Amino acid sequence: MNKDDQDIEIIDAFENTMTVFHKTPHNYNNQEKKKETNKKKISLVKKKKNANRVSVFKGEVEPNRILQVSFILLPIVCLVYVISLHSNSLINERISIFSLVLIGILSVCFIIGLIKFFKTKQKISSIILKTSFAGVYVLTFVASGFLLYGSDSTIRDYIIDKAMMTSKHQYLAFWLFDDNTISESLTQLKQATKVELDGSDRIEFEDITYNPAIYANKYEEDILKKDNENDLYKIIKISGKTIGADHKYRGYLVAVYDPSRVKIATSTGAGTYEGSYGEILSIIAKKNKAKIAMNAGGFYDPFWNSNGGIPHGVVIKDGVVQSEFRRGISTGGMVAFTNDNKLILKRMTAEEALAMGVRDAVDWGPFLIVNGKNQFANVNYYSWATSRTAIGQRKDGIVLLLVIDGGNQPGSFGASYADVAKIMENYGAVNAANMDGGTSTALVEDNKYVNTPWNGQQRTIRSLPNAWIVK
């Protein structure tokens, strides 16, 4: 046997000795005991896990799990049901009924889980902490409901205003609110829209003295100071801050010295049939050879494509009824010029308007000033502002066409109805009415845009069904 073989035998003998040592009864029993203990611990853990799981055969659920699931789902389903009561587009009737049934089931499960929860031994600090988190969670959904559907919700007005002033995202308003809510919201605050719907008396024109030696105020100077005696109109830059806030706005006021030159022009494709279409303001102005053009009434937009084809309410042009679709706004009414060139504001039918000698008219609103009375004079707080359009007439017959840029565009946040009414009042309007605003707000001089039509975050020119023109 050589030396290497001897070394191998010694090593083997040592390993056999160690094996025998580990297999002594004492050490072997300790290892087996440890294994048994570990098995018992694993078994207990598995039993606890199984107790927390749903048993398919017995139908048993852990009380805490019942409470957790019902508590998480109940506010969500309740909010879905509340939305379904106010929306005609997002949630249909089947989902609404299913939500109501689910609310009943979850309520029962919640009560059962709550009873069992308080029967278990819980630390006071743990109960307080869990209750606090639960309260915050529930209040979030309750607050969401009140903010969206409260009787006087600024958030609701903000959502509707921002959605409806765009051409692509009006569906957001219809998802959350019904037609009546949207219409009421777009006519401003309820207390501020209690206008005189019986209409305005006809204005008795007074003689005009241009370039007098003394002006009553800055506004009179802006209107009556003419650079050229034969000027048909004058464009005045407007700027200010919204009532009740520090938001700046800018715009343009056109003083038209001859009211007989103010007329309604319509889009070539406007009508009340499928396939009707509007035209951008510069095209309407060019086709009618107008010196000045400003957007007028609103339009029906069933598919939210803003093609401006179907005008809301009665439209009269040169004493002829052009269209007679449903009224699109709950306040306001006919905004019309008579054959003697006087602006009247009155809620009436097309037949009544023609009988009163109306030559040009659209149906929109709300009325801002009626018989010299500012309908928004009591509004001294901020309400939503956007791009605005308005038309009015002074007691001397001068017609006022007003556009205010908005949509939170650079340099001009927009104006509220109260702001526009105040501007018209300052410049001497005795009758004035709001026209379609938002992206529709536009003013053209010699076929070129004077203001900045705005949609969301960019300049956008919208197709319109009709416009006020000066020619």
DSSP string, 271-327: SSSTT---B-HHHHHHHTT-SEEEE-S-EE-TTS-----EESSEEEETTEEEEE---
- 180 φ, ψ to 5°? -65, -40
Break the chain into its structural domains and give their ranges: 3-48, 63-149, 190-470
Let me know: does 174 contact 87? Beta carbons within 8 Å: yes
SS3 state at 376? coil
Give me the residues of the chain with pLDDT under 70, please. Answer: 1-63, 88-89, 121-125, 127, 151-153, 161-162, 164-170, 180, 183-199, 303-304, 456
Note the pLDDT of residue 11. Answer: 42
Q: Tell me the C-alpha distance between 162 and 409, whole Å.
A: 12
Q: Tell me the C-alpha distance between 67 and 320, whole Å.
A: 68
Q: Tell me the C-alpha distance between 431 and 388, whole Å.
A: 17
Residue appearing with tokens 């003419």: 226
Which residues are paired to 458 by β-bridges?
A: 455
Which two structure tokens, joined as six digits, stand for 259? 């009211």
> Nearest to residue 180, comparing CAs of 298, 90, 87?
87
Note the pLDDT of residue 99. Answer: 85
Let me know: does 224 contact 379? Beta carbons within 8 Å: no
Let me know: does 396 contact 412? Beta carbons within 8 Å: no
Look up residue 383 and give its amino acid: S
Note the pLDDT of residue 15. Answer: 46
Cβ neighbours around 191 below 10 Å, total: 10
Q: Tell me the C-alpha distance between 359 and 319, whole Å.
A: 4
Q: Tell me the C-alpha distance between 450 and 281, whole Å.
A: 11
Distance of alpha carbon 431 from its chain centroid, rounded?
29
Helix (H) or strand (E) segment spanning residue 3: helix 3-22
SS3 state at 393? strand
Let me know: does 425 contact 374? Beta carbons within 8 Å: yes
Alpha-carbon dihedral sign for residues 169, 141, 69, 133: positive
* Residue 376, CA distances (Å) to 167, 199, 369 in order: 28, 16, 8
Which residues are paired to 222 by β-bridges?
A: none
Alpha helix ranges (H) inside 87-209? 93-119, 124-149, 154-164, 171-176, 179-186
Q: Tell me the C-alpha distance between 386 and 165, whole Å.
A: 8
Q: How many helices (H) and strands (E) does the chain have?
A: 12, 21
Q: What angle do CA 432, 457, 434 make, to 5 degrees?
A: 10
DSSP state of 143: H
